[in-house]
Structure 1
Amino acid sequence: MISVNDFKTGVTIELDGQAYAVVEFQHVKPGKGAAFVRAKLKNVKTGATIERTFRGGEKVPKAHLDRREMQYLYNDGSGYIFMDNENFEQISITAEQIGDGIKWLLENMNIQVLIFQENIIGIELPNFVEMTIIDTEPGVKGDTATGVTKNATVETGATVKVPLFVNTGDKIRIDTRIGEYLDRV
């Protein structure tokens, strides 16, 4: 059990049999009445966010998420095959369990698999990945205007907005949390 007064961003709690991560929290002490904590919670499995108000000092069960490092091997058509780096066991994870992370998943990439109550609920990708651009309009010499972007397709098939000077074959770094171009590698 954890007191709502001890909330910090990233703490996972259990509500209604689901795991939620604390995204934002605010301790409120009104002039009249008891203190309370207003929290914005993100469902770890579905990604949906809810807002909940707790009485000050209220205790909630802490969700124990098990994180296992695994390596992505391949897609067999029905699921994505991962290998546990400790015991070399292979497991299949569905596209629904992976979510939007599929578009940043490269073969042989190490990721964290999140397990809650013996069930796989999702994956955590590295914050940044390096990918090669396989298709984009050619850059023209002198195209250095700031803030102007064009679409580029990376090796996984995902589309990212990149500056005009980036060409096909360039290796770029992408922030997987927001899905945006960072820089050329």
Structure 2
Amino acid sequence: MASTPVINLRKGHAVRYNNEVCTVSDFELKTPPRMASYVQMSIRTLSTGKVYNLRMTSNESLESVNLNREPHEYSYKDGEDYHFMHPETFEDVILMESQVKNAKDYLIEGQKYTVQFADDVVVGIELPPSVVMEVTESPEGVKGDSANNVYKAATLETGLIVQVPLFIGPGDKISVKTEDNSYLGRAN
């Protein structure tokens, strides 16, 4: 694969570091007075989510990786394998549990998700910023607790537990932020 000078990298670029495919999550070029310039960056592995903080001189290089993102529809789970179907070619793509990681709490059959390919090999799944899910279990709110912003635990259709306001009940559809599992609001 081609080697790319670190000075040409930007957020979102895919590189290979320690034999793992990583994406650049933070990038800053520093030029201190009377010193050689250097690049301070953070990269995140797609397989494990581990973050590396790197400081490299501006003339160093990293191996660039061709990262493609394609929409796929989540079909079903079979043991520890997750099956996704390409909407146009109907090709079945199988991701292992280690590739799905925390995204499994947001996988709903029939929904579309972005599958990531590095050099034509499946490396993971990219979630949208928020997902609409249905509440399956939620305790009743206690009257009189509404003076403050009081939250209660609610179980969603995938088994994910989210803190929601007291007025949310079973059967309600809510929007959940995938970054931190937080309640965003009711959904239609």
Q: TM-score, normalised by structure 1?
A: 0.90
| Superposed CA offset, 1:91-139 (max 9, x none) | 3222111010000100001111111233221101222111111111112
1:40 to 39, 42, 45: 42
Query: Residue 111 of structure 2 corresponds to which residue in structure 1?
Result: 109
Query: Residue 70 of structure 2 corresponds to which residue in structure 1?
Result: 68
Deviation, 1:174, is: 0.6
Deviation, 1:78, is: 3.8
Cα separation, 2, equivalents of 1:94 and 1:177: 21
2:32 to 30, 33, 39: 30
Query: Residue 23 of structure 2 corresponds to which residue in structure 1?
Result: 21
Consecutive unaligned residues of structure 1, counting only runs of 5 or more, are none
The letter of the residue matching 2:96 is T
Query: Residue 182 of structure 2 corresponds to which residue in structure 1?
Result: 180
Cα separation, 2, equivalents of 1:45 and 1:75: 19
Cα separation, 2, equivalents of 1:167 and 1:139: 9
| Superposed CA offset, 1:118-176 (max 9, x none) | 32211012221111111111124554344422111001111011122212221100111
Cα separation, 2, equivalents of 1:62 and 1:78: 31
Q: Size of the alignment, in residue pairs?
A: 185
Q: How does 1:5-154 map to 2 (within 5 A)?
A: 5-141=7-143, 143-154=145-156
Consecutive unaligned residues of structure 2, counting only runs of 5 or more, are none
Deviation, 1:50, is: 0.7
Cα separation, 2, equivalents of 1:32 and 1:146: 56
Aligned with 1:121: secondary structure?
strand
* Closer/same/farther in 2, CA of residues 28 and 133 from structure 1, 3 Å limit: same
Contact 1:130–1:173 (Cα < 8 Å) also in 2: yes
The letter of the residue matching 1:54 is M
> How big is the alpha-carbon RMSD for the aligned residues of Structure 1 and Structure 2?
1.8
Q: Percent identity?
A: 32
Aligned with 1:100: secondary structure?
helix
The letter of the residue matching 2:184 is L
Aligned with 1:98: secondary structure?
helix
Give runs of ≥4 in structure 1 deviating > 6 Å. none
| Superposed CA offset, 1:4-56 (max 9, x none) | 22332222222233221111122222223211011111111110001111112
Residue range with higher mean Cα deviation, 105-114 or 120-129 = 120-129
Contact 2:69–2:115 (Cα < 8 Å) also in 1: yes
Contact 1:105–1:156 (Cα < 8 Å) also in 2: yes
Residue range with higher mean Cα deviation, 113-122 or 167-176 = 113-122
Q: TM-score, normalised by structure 2?
A: 0.89
Deviation, 1:86, is: 2.4
